[in-house]
Amino acid sequence: MIIEAILLTVITASTPLVIAAMGELVTERSGVLNLGVEGMMIIGAVCAFAVAQMSGSPLIGVGAGIVGGAAFSLLFAFLTLSLVANQVATGLALTILGLGVSGMLGESFVGVPGVKLQPIAIPLLADIPFVGPLLFRQDLIFYLSILLVVGVNWFLFGTRTGLKLRAIGDNHGSAHTLGIHVIRTRYLAVLFGGACAGLAGAQLSLVYTPQWVENMSAGRGWIALALVVFASWRPWRLLAGGYLFGAVTIGQLHAQAFGIGLPSQLLSALPYAATIVVLVIISQNRRTTLINTPASLGKPFVPDR
């Protein structure tokens, strides 16, 4: 069925957006603004592809992607949290560095056939007409993305540690006064965000397009950043937003395939145009934005000040 095939591609396209944005949501909830999602994602993609190719195991490749993204995020954490560098400038530099390093590391893998992460069929459920192939015959990373949304929502709003993390994001000075370890918590949040970005990158090179192509993240890191704002820093809203943007991405591809009389360049720009439109609409409601935005987002913290 055409509808089933389209929905399958929408799910595949949406998964990396959801995962990367979920990691950034936790990072920003702690008060850290990391604009280097694109760089961490592309590093995860090249690490996953290279290790999967050399080991022959896509699962090991997934692990390598997570480690690669997390390791790259530690550079950002050290510069912004320990050395108190500007978070915006450091995040942009991280993206540029990631694109350059990934191009260098992946040069020898261009054109090499990839190792695809195969789907996992859940017994009985996978045989349900229409719904089964969509939800119960997917790859491991899709299932992890759903567990990630559930887990992050529970962590942030149902645990004491999550409350502390949100308290740091809202007022790091008061949190420090209460004895909460601000820098340590933010290090862990940034590390988690980097691991998620690396996992999203692994999905790109092992599932979405099982090969290595330079700059294959293609701006998805920036869309993930916009998704966090779109969702008002709420996990379930982010899940819905991720699939909305994934549908726009796939929709423009099918529009080109059906020969709709619009320039292909315009259709290709639709996901990014939609991102801009959504952010403009959200910015009109200042009250909602101010209520949900972590008050300490992007602000440096030095304990002795």
State pLDDT tens for residues 7-31. 888 899 999 999 999 999 999 999 9
CATH code: domain 2-292 is 1.10.3470
Query: Which distant-in-sequence residues (6+ apart) come within 8 Å of 39 by Cβ?
Result: 72, 94, 95, 96, 97, 98, 99, 221
Helices marked H in the chain — which ranges?
Answer: 2-29, 37-55, 58-77, 87-105, 131-135, 140-158, 160-170, 172-177, 182-203, 220-230, 235-257, 264-268, 270-284, 286-292
Which tokens sit at 138?
């997917």
Say how far apart CA 18 and CA 23 lie, in whole Å: 9
For the chain, the domains span 2-292
How does the average pLDDT of the chain come out, rounded?
89
What torsion do the CA atoms of 66, 72, 77, 82 make, to the nearest 10 degrees? 130
160-170 vs 2-29: helix crossing angle, rounded to 10: 70
State pLDDT tens for residues 102-125. 999 998 888 888 889 999 988 888
> Which of 91, 54, 49, 92 has the alpha carbon at shortest distance from 208?
49
Cβ proximity of 45 and 205 under 8 Å = yes
Quick one: average pLDDT of 42-46?
Answer: 96
Give me the long-range contacts of 161-170 (CB less than 8 A, separation at least 24): 165/26, 165/29, 165/30, 165/189, 166/29, 166/294, 168/30, 168/31, 168/296, 169/28, 169/29, 169/30, 169/31, 169/294, 169/295, 169/296, 169/297, 170/31, 170/294, 170/295, 170/296
Lowest-confidence segment of 193-197, 260-264, 265-269 by average pLDDT: 260-264
What does the pLDDT read at residue 268? 67
State pLDDT tens for residues 50-65. 999 999 999 999 999 9
Confidence of residue 267 (pLDDT cuts 50, 70, 90): low
What does the pLDDT read at residue 256? 61
What does the pLDDT read at residue 123? 86
In degrees rounded to 5, what are phi and psi of residue 120?
-115, 120
